[in-house]
Structure 1
Amino acid sequence: MTEQQDDWFERAFAGAPLMAILRGMGVDRSVRLAETAWDLGLDSVEVPLQTDEDERALRAVVERGVARGKSVGAGTIITPRQVTLAAESGAEYLVSPGLDPAVVRAAQDAGIPILAGVATPSEVQLAVSLGLTWLKAFPATWLGSGWFRHIRGPFPQVRFVATGGLDASNVEEFLDAGVRVAAVGSALEDASQLERLAAVLQARAVR
């Protein structure tokens, strides 16, 4: 599963160093912002799964994603039961705020790639021992961009998706620090931020 997971994330995030997180936005707003993200050039969209409404939103976004050939993930996965629910809803990948070996194993058993959340070297080391090399660093702005420069020393094989407090004003700082993917959310509803995010995507595409 490890090699398959690595390959899946490499492909999913090859086109853009940004992804979207649509937390608690309801069905219609989630679909609209997912479309905005895809139109902007963000290939991957995550819908956190915490309520029944979130489940409906995930299914609706998955349906639109399938039509457009885009990846949709389920976030805030904190129990093995949610792994099953996300899979039944059509999620292609999972995102967890923390590192729970039981959740990681449930995802691996189900054959679904998972981004487990980490914030310390010990958590990164545990994640690596579980066969993970793509990880979510959360909360990114609390950790600071310097954290990523330091953590690359002992864990050069790990690729990080940074989430938490990121928008057009700071994503480049984190990308420059070695983050492979930066996640944005409410910035997708701000016209001025959309322009800046588009500029980031264009600049990164030619590097």
Structure 2
Amino acid sequence: MNTTERAFSWELFNKAPLVGIIRGLLADEVSQILPLYRDAGLTTIEITMNTAGAEAIIADALTAHSNGLNIGAGTVCTKDELEKALDAGAQFIVTPIINKKVIKACVKRGIPIFPGAYTPTEAYMAWSLGASMVKIFPATSLGPSYIKELKAPLNQLKVMPTGGISLDNMSAYLKAGADGLGVGSQLLDKTLIAQKKWPELKAHFANFLAAYQSVIGR
């Protein structure tokens, strides 16, 4: 594997810091979705390790679609899952929890890591261990005001609320100080995917980018 070609791009991420979450989709569906995702202007997507065949899907995605996309692994909870994800070529790692061994292993290898945290103590711990950005999860239980309150004393933290993020509330999270957003079923619309409505799905992706850009003034 050519690690130079396959390295995570912060330049790409910062163009559209929305991390799409692919969970439970089939390999052929993913291969249809990724070009649409990229063409809509989105840049970073994770494939969860509890998706059937996740390792093969990640490897195939990197082979066919890595140009213009960051492709990572999500729902990584153990060191064993981390090794499988990295062996498949994952360019970044997302976890729903804090596992110190997973975070430290990523930091040591220079792999961006977005660990999940809920409380201020957990968020600060994840950041202190070397997290690239802390995934605040589940964000829907906390709301945008929590992000603002969290970052008041801990303004050095970079945070990515995840869970329940939608077109309707993403601007509120961004205005509250979110540095990125993790978006699952609201972005990867399973009805559009099941019905193979690919032009509509691409337009749906573009709506999320437009909503982000309207908040940051691009």
Q: TM-score range by the shorter chain?
A: 0.7 to 0.9
Residues 101 and 199 of structure 1, relative CA distance in 2, 3 Å threshold: same
Q: Hey, what does 2:214 align to over in structure 1?
A: 203
1: CA distance between counterparts of 2:136 and 2:9? 15
**Aligned-partner SS, 1:167:** coil
Most deviating of 183-192 and 86-95 = 183-192
2: CA distance between counterparts of 1:172 and 1:181? 11
**Percent of aligned pairs with the same amino acid:** 31
Q: Hey, what does 2:27 align to over in structure 1?
A: 27
**Aligned-partner SS, 2:160:** strand
AA partner of residue 110 (structure 2) = G
Maintained 8 Å contact 2:12/2:70? yes
1: CA distance between counterparts of 2:207 and 2:80? 39
Residues 204 and 36 of structure 1, relative CA distance in 2, 3 Å threshold: farther
2: CA distance between counterparts of 1:108 and 1:46? 18
1: CA distance between counterparts of 2:154 and 2:132? 9
**What is the aligned length?**
199
Q: Hey, what does 2:3 align to over in structure 1?
A: none
TM-score, structure 1 as length reference: 0.86
TM-score, structure 2 as length reference: 0.82
Maintained 8 Å contact 2:19/2:182? yes
**C-alpha distance after superposition, 1:48-71 (max 9, x if no partner):** 1125512222122222332x2321
RMSD across aligned C-alpha pairs, in angstroms? Answer: 2.1
Structure 2: tracts of 5 or more residues without a match: 1-7, 193-199
**Aligned-partner SS, 2:166:** coil
Q: Which has more helix, going by share of residues? A: 1
Structure 1: tracts of 5 or more residues without a match: 1-7
1: CA distance between counterparts of 2:84 and 2:181? 26
Residues 64 and 152 of structure 1, relative CA distance in 2, 3 Å threshold: same
Most deviating of 11-20 and 149-158 = 11-20
1: CA distance between counterparts of 2:206 and 2:42? 13
Give 1:58-69 correspondences, 5 Å limit. 58-66=58-66, 68-69=67-68
Maintained 8 Å contact 2:42/2:209? no
2: CA distance between counterparts of 1:141 and 1:134? 18
Maintained 8 Å contact 2:161/2:180? yes
Q: Hey, what does 1:4 align to over in structure 2?
A: none
Give 1:50-61 correspondences, 5 Å limit. 50-61=50-61
Deviation at 1:106, TM superposition (A): 2.1
Maintained 8 Å contact 1:37/1:188? no
Q: Hey, what does 1:11 align to over in structure 2?
A: 11
